[in-house]
Chains A and B, each alone.
Chain A
Amino acid sequence: MPEIKSLQTDYDGPIESALSSISKLLRGHYGISKRMVALLLLQEDAEIERQVKEQEDENYKSIQNILPEVKSNYGHPLSYIIAMTRQQKVNNVLDSVIATRDKSDKGFAELLSRAMMNPLSGIIILFGVLYFGLYQFVGVFGAGTLVDFIESIVFGEWINPWVSGIANTIIPFQILRDLFVGEYGLVTLGLSYAIAIILPIVGTFFIIFSIIEDSGYLPRLAMLIDRIFKAIGLSGRAVIPMVLGFGCDTMATIVTRTQETRRERIITTLLLALAIPCSAQLGVILAILSGDGWSLSIWVGVITLVFLLVGFVASKAIPGRGPSFYMEVPPLRLPKLSNVLTKTYSRLQWYFFEVLPFFLYASVFLWLGDLTGVLDIITSWLEPVVVLIGLPPEASIAFLYGFFRRDFGAAGLYDLNTAGALVGVPLVVAAVTITLFIPCIAQFGVMLKERGIKTAIAITLFVFPFAFAVGYLVNLILTTLGVAL
C-alpha cells in the first residue's frame, strides 16, 4: 500500500478561495495551520473567533468581511457544506479499503438490545434491574449485610473502643474528648458513619452503576423514557444524572454539566434535591418500610408523583426552549471486571475527597451545637412543624440531622422505629417528608458551586416548606381515609 503523507480535502471553489485569502491575512500564532484556523472561522467556531479577534488587530476587519461573501454562495451554513465535503472524502477513502459482510445472524446481544428498547419488555427489564441491582445488591447486601458487619463489628467492637481508649488516656478534657469520640465525635460519628454506612452502600451502588454504564443499558433506558421526561422539561439523556442520583445526589448534581441547556440543568438539580433519595438514605428507608408492602408502595407512589408533578410545573415555569433528544446507542457489551473496579474505585476516591470533608465539618458543627445548646434551639423550632404533620416531637432531631447527612435523618427515623415510637401512618409520613426534605449539606455545597447562589437558595427555600406540605397532605389523606398501616 502506498504511504499517505498528508490527506488534504479540497473544498468547493468559493470556500477554497476564502481559505487562501484568510490564510494570507492571518498573522497570529495558533498552534495549528493557518488553513485550519481559516476553516474553523468559516465553521463559526466560537473559540477560534475569539482568538482571532484577540491576535489580529489590523486584519480582523478584513477577515470578517470575507465571511458573509462566502456564505452568500450557499443556502446552508458553511459548517454543513464543509462537513459534507469531508464526509465525501471519508467515503472515498473508506470505499477503497473496506468490504462489508452481510451480517444476517442476530445474536443474543441483538435480541436483548431489542427487548430493552421495546416499551413492554423494556419496562420488565427495568424493574428487574431495579429489583436485583438496586434493591437486592445495594439495599439488602450493601445497606444490610455489609453495613451491619462494618458498623457493629469493625467499628463497634474494634475501632471505637480502641480510639476511645487512646483518647481517654491522652486527652484530659471531656469536651475535647467528645470532639473525637463523643456522641457527635469526628471518629465515632463522622468517620465511622462515612466508612460504616457510606462506603458499603455507595460502594455497592457504584459497582452496579459501573456495570450498567459499561453494558450500554443507559442509552436504551434513555430512549425508552424520553417521552415521559419531555413532559417534565427534560430529555431522555437526563436518566444518567437521575440514576446516578440514587447513588449520590451530590455527584449527580455535578453530572448535570453534561446537559445541553441551563433550563435542563436547573430542573434536574431541583428534582435531585427534592425527589431522588440517595443510596444511603434509600438503604435506611427501605430497611424501615420493607416490613410492610403498603407503606412502601405509598412512599414510592408519593415520591414518584411529586417527581412528575414538580418536574411538570417547573418545565412550565422555567422559560427556555424544550430539550431535544439524540444519543448514540452503542452495541451491548459484557462489562469488563477490571474497568468496573477501576471506575468504582475512582468514584469512591472522589466521594471520599469531595464529600467526606463536609461530613467531618458537620460532626464539628453538631458537636459545637450540642455544646452551646444551639442544637436544642433549632430542634425546638422544628418541633411544632413536625407535630403538625402528625409525627412525635422526638422526630424533629432526625430532620435536623437530615440536613447534615441525608441518611442521618433516615437513620434517626430508624432508631425511633426500632424503639417503637414511630410506626404506621406517621412512619410513612416521616419517610416521605425526610426523602423530600432538603438536600444534604454536601449537595447544597455543590448546588452553590454549580448553579450559583441564587438558584441554590431558591431551590432550598422551595424544597423546605414543600416537603412538610406534602407530609401534611399525606398525613391528612391517610388519617381521613382511616388507613391503618
Chain B
Amino acid sequence: MELEEKAEEVLESLWIHHEDTGNNYLPIDEVEISYREGIEQLVKVSYVTLSEDIVQLTDKGRPFARNVVRRHRLAERLLADVMGTGDQLMHEKACKFEHLLDRGLDENICSLLGHPKVCPHGKPIPPGNCCQLQHHQGQRVVSPLSQLSPGQTGRVAYIYAPEVEQLQKLTAMGILPGAPITLAQNFPSYVFHIRETQFAVDEEIAQSIYVRLVNPENIGEAEAVERPRRNQTIGKLAQRLGLR
C-alpha cells in the first residue's frame, strides 16, 4: 500500500522530533495543519496512534518514518551535490523529491552519491541496505576520496567528519567544498592534489572527503558501460520531477 504524501510528511515530522528530543510522540498542534489529514491514513495502518491530541509513532511505523527521512535527506544531497541547487530551493524541492524516491530508487541514488552519511545540513541519513553491503559496483557521481582510482579527478563536494577536530584539520588544509581535487595514489596511503598542494592522508581521512566527479570522460573504461545507466536513473527522476 502506498502512503499519501501528507502521511509521509507526518512520519517525517515524528522522526525529526524523535531525533531532536528523544520522544516518539508529538502534540497534534505541532503537526503542520496541511499535513494533518495524513494522520488518518497512518492510524488506519497503525503506523501511529492518536489519543488526546497526541500523535505517537508505533514500532510498526518506525521503519517507514526512518525511510521517509532517509529519502528526504538523500534527495537534498542529490539536489545539492549533483544539481547544484541552492539552500532556499533545496528544502522545497527535496520535499517533493522524497516521495519519488521509492521502490528501491533510493538505493540507486544512495550508491550514486557514494552512500552519504549526512545531509547537507549535517543531519544523519539513516543507512539503507545498500550502505551495509557497500557494493562498489555501479558508477557514482559523488564518492568518498578513498574509493576513487588514482588519476580520477573532481571537486570536493562536502566533508563528512563526525569530530570537530578532524573537520578543523581538513579546513586548515584547504579542503573545502568546491576545491578541485585529484587522487594520485591510494596505497600505502592516499596522496592527492588539491589546488596547487599535495597531501598524504590515511584511510580514515580519505573516507571523510566526498568528491563530486566532474570529468567523467577521464574515469576509465568501465565507466563507458556504466554511464548510460546512470543517465537513465537521473533522467527518470528528472522526468518525474517535471524538470525535463
Q: Residues of A at under 8 Å CB distance from B?
A: 74-77, 79-80, 83-84, 87-88, 91, 114, 117-119, 219-220, 222-227, 230, 235-236, 324-331
Contacts and interface: CB of A to CB of B under 8 A. Distances in A.
A413 B38 CA distance: 88
B202 A75 contact: no
11 contacts: A74-B122, A75-B119, A79-B167, A79-B171, A84-B171, A87-B176, A119-B188, A326-B200, A326-B202, A327-B200, A328-B197
| Most chain A C-beta atoms within 10 Å of own C-beta, residue among B121, B166, B202 | B202
A92 to B, nearest CB: 12
Contacts of B191: 117, 223, 329
A interface: dominant SS: helix
Contact of B201 (A84, A117, A220, A325): A325
A325 B121 contact: no
Given A79-B168, A84-B177, A324 B204 contact: yes
B174 A325 contact: no
A328 B202 contact: no
B189 A325 contact: yes
A77 B177 CA distance: 15
Nearest to A230: B202
Given A87-B178, A224-B188, A324 B202 contact: yes
B144 interface: no
A225 B118 CA distance: 32
Task: List the 3 closest pairs (A to B, CB-CB), nearest first.
Answer: A75-B122, A75-B121, A223-B200
B127 to A, nearest CB: 18
B22 to A, nearest CB: 18
A226 B187 contact: no
A75 B188 CA distance: 34
Contacts of A235: 202
A75 B171 contact: no
Contact of B189 (A80, A114, A236, A330): A236
A87 B174 contact: yes
Nearest to B122: A75
A236 to B, nearest CB: 7
Given A75-B122, A79-B164, 9 more contacts: A79-B167, A83-B171, A117-B191, A224-B188, A227-B188, A324-B169, A325-B201, A326-B199, A328-B197
Given A324-B204, A326-B199, A327-B199, A223 B173 contact: no
B171 to A, nearest CB: 4
A123 B171 CA distance: 32
Nearest to A86: B176
Interface string B176-191: 1111000001011101
Contacts of B178: 87-88, 91
B215 interface: no
| Most chain B C-beta atoms within 10 Å of own C-beta, residue among A91, A114, A327 | A327
Contact of B200 (A87, A118, A119, A236): A236
A31 B193 CA distance: 37
A331 B191 CA distance: 13
A224 B190 CA distance: 10
A242 to B, nearest CB: 17
Contact of A226 (B118, B176, B199, B202): B202
Interface string B184-221: 01011101000001111110110000000000000000
B200 A329 contact: yes
A87 B189 contact: no
Contacts of B179: 87
Interface in B76-108: none
A310 to B, nearest CB: 22
Contact of B202 (A117, A325, A329): A325
Nearest to B161: A80
Contacts of A117: 185, 191, 200
A219 B201 CA distance: 11
Interface string B142-181: 0000000000000000010000101111110110111100
Contact of A80 (B118, B171, B188): B171
A213 to B, nearest CB: 16
Nearest to A226: B189
B111 to A, nearest CB: 23
Given A117-B191, A223-B189, A324 B176 contact: no
Contacts of B122: 74-76
Given A76-B122, A327-B200, A226 B173 contact: no
Contact of A326 (B159, B164, B205): B205
B205 A324 contact: yes
Nearest to A82: B171
B120 interface: yes
| Most chain A C-beta atoms within 10 Å of own C-beta, residue among B121, B178, B200 | B200
A188 to B, nearest CB: 49
B196 to A, nearest CB: 9
Contacts of B18: none
| Most chain A C-beta atoms within 10 Å of own C-beta, residue among B170, B185, B189 | B189
Nearest to B163: A321
B179 to A, nearest CB: 7
Nearest to A81: B171
B155 to A, nearest CB: 12
B123 interface: yes
| Most chain A C-beta atoms within 10 Å of own C-beta, residue among B171, B173, B199 | B171
Given A75-B121, A119-B188, A235-B202, A326 B169 contact: yes
